[in-house]
Amino acid sequence: MSASHSDTVYDYVIVGGGTAGSVIANRLTEDPETSVCVIEGGPSDQGQERVLRLRDWLDLLESDLDYGYTTVEQPRGNSHIVHSRARVLGGCSSHNTLISFRPFPQDLADWVAAGAEGWDNATVQSYADRLKNNIVPVAPQDRNAIVEDWITASSRATGVPVVEDFNAEISHRGGFSEGAGFLSIAYDPYTGHRSSASVAYLHPIMGVRDNLTLMLETWAHRLVFDGDRATGVRVTTADGQERTVTAEREVVLCAGAVDTPRLLMLSGVGPAGDLRDVGIGVRHDLPGVGENLLDHPESIIMWETEREVPENTVMSSDGGLFVRRDTGDPRPDLMFHIYQVPFDDNTARLGYDSPGPRNAICMTPNIPRSRSRGKLWLTSADPEVKPALDFRYFTDPDDYDAQTIVDGLRIARDIAATEPFASWIKREVAPGPGLTTDEELSEYGRRAAHTVYHPAGTCRMGAADDPAAVVDPALRVRGLSGLRVADASVFPTMPSPNPMVTVLTVGERAADLIRADR
Ligand X SMILES: Cc1cc2nc3c(=O)[nH]c(=O)nc-3n(C[C@H](O)[C@H](O)[C@H](O)COP(=O)(O)OP(=O)(O)OC[C@H]3O[C@@H](n4cnc5c(N)ncnc54)[C@H](O)[C@@H]3O)c2cc1C
Residues 458-497 vs ligand X: string with x where CB under 6 A? -----------------------------xx---------
Query: Cα(40)–Cα(35) distance, rounded to whole angstroms?
Result: 16
Site for ligand X in 204-263 (CB under 6 A): 219-220, 254-257, 259, 263
Q: How distant, in Å, are the alpha carbons of 65, 345, 435, 476 from that of 354?
A: 27, 10, 18, 49
Residues 341-360 vs ligand X: string with x where CB under 6 A? --------------------
Helices 121-129, 500-516: inter-axial angle, 10-degree rounding: 100
> What is the per-residue DSSP string for 346-396?
HHHHTT-----TTSEEEEEEE-TT----BEEE-S-S-TTSPPEEE--TT--
Binding status of residue 340 toward ligand X by CB under 6 A: no
Q: Looking at 14, 37, 91, 230, which residue binds ligand X (CB under 6 A)?
A: 91
Looking at residue 207, its amino acid is G
Binding status of residue 283 toward ligand X by CB under 6 A: no
**SS3 assignment, position 35:** coil
Helices 500-516, 19-28: inter-axial angle, 10-degree rounding: 30
Binding status of residue 87 toward ligand X by CB under 6 A: yes
- 218 vs 403, beta carbon nearer ligand X: 218
Binding status of residue 84 toward ligand X by CB under 6 A: yes
> Which of the residues 296, 337, 450, 454 is marked catalytic?
454
CB of 60 to ligand X, least distance (A): 8
Q: Is 353 left (phi over 0), alpha (psi -120 to 50) or beta?
A: beta
Looking at residue 373, its amino acid is R
**Known catalytic residue: 454?**
yes
Query: Cα(408)–Cα(322) distance, rounded to whole angstroms?
Result: 10
Binding status of residue 498 toward ligand X by CB under 6 A: yes
How would you class 327 by CB atoms within 10 Å of its CB: exposed for 0-12, middle for 13-18, buried for 19 or more?
Answer: exposed
Q: Looking at 34, 44, 74, 93, which residue binds ligand X (CB under 6 A)?
A: 93
Binding status of residue 503 toward ligand X by CB under 6 A: yes
Cα torsion through 59, 62, 64, 68, rounded to 10: 150
CB of 42 to ligand X, least distance (A): 4
- 219 vs 394, beta carbon nearer ligand X: 219
- Contact indicator for 273, 290 with CB cutoff of 8 Å: no
CB of 411 to ligand X, least distance (A): 21
Binding status of residue 98 toward ligand X by CB under 6 A: yes
- 156 vs 234, beta carbon nearer ligand X: 234
CB of 418 to ligand X, least distance (A): 26
Binding status of residue 20 toward ligand X by CB under 6 A: yes
CB of 35 to ligand X, least distance (A): 18
Query: Cα(384)–Cα(45) distance, rounded to whole angstroms?
Result: 24
Binding status of residue 97 toward ligand X by CB under 6 A: yes
Looking at residue 477, its amino acid is V
Binding status of residue 453 toward ligand X by CB under 6 A: yes
- 413 vs 509, beta carbon nearer ligand X: 509
Q: How distant, in Å, are the alpha carbons of 14, 25, 39, 231, 341 from that of 253?
A: 6, 12, 10, 13, 36
The contact set with ligand X (CB under 6 A) reads: 15-21, 39-42, 61, 84-87, 91-93, 95-99, 219-220, 254-257, 259, 263, 453-454, 487-488, 498-500, 503
Q: Catalytic site residues?
A: 454
